[in-house]
Every structure is written in structure tokens, then in C-alpha cells.
Amino acid sequence: MNSTTPPLVQVNALSVSPAGAQGEVRMVDAVSLQVQRGRILGIAGESGCGKTQLLLALLGLSPRGARVQGQVLWQGQPLSAQAVARLRGDRIAMVFQDPMTALNPYLTIATQLCEVWHRHRAGERAQANSRALAMLQAVGIDHPARRLKQYPHQLSGGMRQRVMLAMALMCEPELLLADEPTTSLDVTVQAQILDLLLQLRERLGMALIVVTHDMGVLAQLADEILVMESGRVVEHGSTEQVFAAPQASATQRLLQAARRLDISAGPAEGSAK
């Protein structure tokens, strides 16, 4: 990659304060990061550290009344709130932590997938159904034509997570944000989802930002890791560096928790980087 090519996304000193907060109370405190096209950044931290709020702020989805400061650049250009709204769901997509609450229980899978396409590809409405079917196939759902006619409650947790991925991929985004994408899944389905994310990165050239408290997930997935504590970045480096010589106490605690769960405490052999 040409050294003069700007990062796909760059965040400069992003801070988020809750609505009505007094003084310097911040959920996210002056966080900076950047992600190049085709790379995977893992953001790790314990519950409440601010990692999800960081993703929401990046997407312009912070809670009502929250005060957001800092700058987000997309391919080197500053993003306004209006520009973020245009990119959201199209060039930038997000997979939320709980697909059962993110999916609409009253609409079929087909309706929900096609809605994303109609919103961003208004001139190509006739292609929506075939695109939805192709995306379910891409994420490895069995009997995809039948699944399109079903409702979220008729699918397993692993299938719902795959539907969320399919929805995020409807418009082939350049950046995919994933918030705890495997937390509610059993070990076998978790491994399948992680493998799928790596395949999609290779196939589509997407960049990913993956948020999790599980260092085992990032060992298999991330090119670099950013660790947060109390809204701040306390460590940032390549996956190999962070696992080999963790500097921050927060990082050390996360690694110890991963070892207690009998998760590999190092980058998975042969993982795509």
C-alpha cells in the first residue's frame, strides 16, 4: 500500500460525555485510532470501559443528549453528522451484540434485508430479493430461500447472528463494525463466525473493527489490538506484541481471564493477517 494513502477511517481525540454529565465525566476519553483498508482492529476491554460507546459515536449513534467531541475522517476527509448518516449501512455497517433485539420480530428476514438495499440502492429495487438470497448464502445459512420467509424467533442464535452479518453486507461495506459478535454463541458456532469474518475480509477486502472483552477472539482475528479502560486507551499494538508483552494491567487481566477459560493465549496459528 502506498504510504501516502490515508487510512480508510481515522478517529482523532474522540470523547463522549453522557447527557447531563457535570465536569469531565466521559464514557470515551480522547480516543484516537486508525484502520487501513483490509485490516482488522480489535478493541478490547472489560464491561463499561467505553468500547461500545466508541463504536456508536463513530457511527453517529450516541445516546440522545450525549456530548461528542473530536474528529472522524473517512479516507482522509472529515465527516459531518450528515455524511456519517449517508455512509451508515452503505459504506460502513455494524453488527450489534444481540441480534434478537437488533432484528425486528414482526418482519420476515427477507423484508429486513431488502429494507437495507432499498434505502441505499433506490434505483436497483428489483435486485433486492436476489441480493438478500445471495447474502444468506455468503454467510453460510442452510436453506437460505426458506430462511428468507421466516421470522427471527424461528432461527437459532447462530443463524440470527449470520442474518445480522448478511444485513450488514447487503451493500458491500468497506468497513464493518462488530460489537461482541460471538458472546452469546457456543464455542462451535463462535469458531464458525470468526472464520466467516476472516473469509469475508479476504473476499471483499473489508476493514473490520471488532469490539470484545474476549482476548481469545482477537487472538484469532485481529491484526492489532487497542485496549480500553475507563474510557481511555491504555495499550495499543500488534496482536503479537500485545500477547507477548502486555504492558497495561487491564490487558493482563483480560489475558488471565482468557487463560482461565482455556482459550489460546496467543494468535492462532495460521490466522490470516
> How confident is residue 10, by pLDDT bands cut at 50, 70 and 90?
very high
Q: Where are the domains of the chain?
A: 92-172
Q: pLDDT tens digit string along 27-75?
A: 999 999 999 999 999 999 998 999 999 999 999 999 889 999 999 999 9
- The answer, yes or no, to whether residue 24 has pLDDT greater than 80, is no
Q: For position 153, what pLDDT does the model report?
A: 93
Cα distance between residue 245 and residue 240, in whole Å: 8
Q: Where are the alpha helices (DSSP H) in 20-168?
A: 51-58, 81-87, 99-102, 109-120, 128-138, 144-148, 157-168
**Cα separation values, 115 from 131, 147, 151, 164, 251, Å:** 11, 16, 15, 13, 40
Cβ-based neighbour number of residue 118 at 10 Å: 12
In angstroms, the CA 144 to CA 140 distance is: 9
User: To the nearest whole percent, how much of the chain has pLDDT over 90?
Assistant: 56
**DSSP structural state of residue 18:** -
Residues 122, 223: Cα–Cα separation, whole Å: 36
- Its sign, for the CA torsion 246, 252, 255, 256, is positive
The mean per-residue pLDDT over the stretch 15-35 comes to 88
148, amino acid identity: L
Question: What's the confidence (pLDDT) of residue 266?
Answer: 46
Answer whether 0.85 is exceeded by the pTM: yes
Confidence band, pLDDT 50/70/90 cuts, at residue 122: confident
Q: What is the pLDDT of residues 130-170, one digit of tens each?
A: 999 999 988 889 999 999 999 999 998 888 988 998 998 88
pLDDT at res. 204: 83
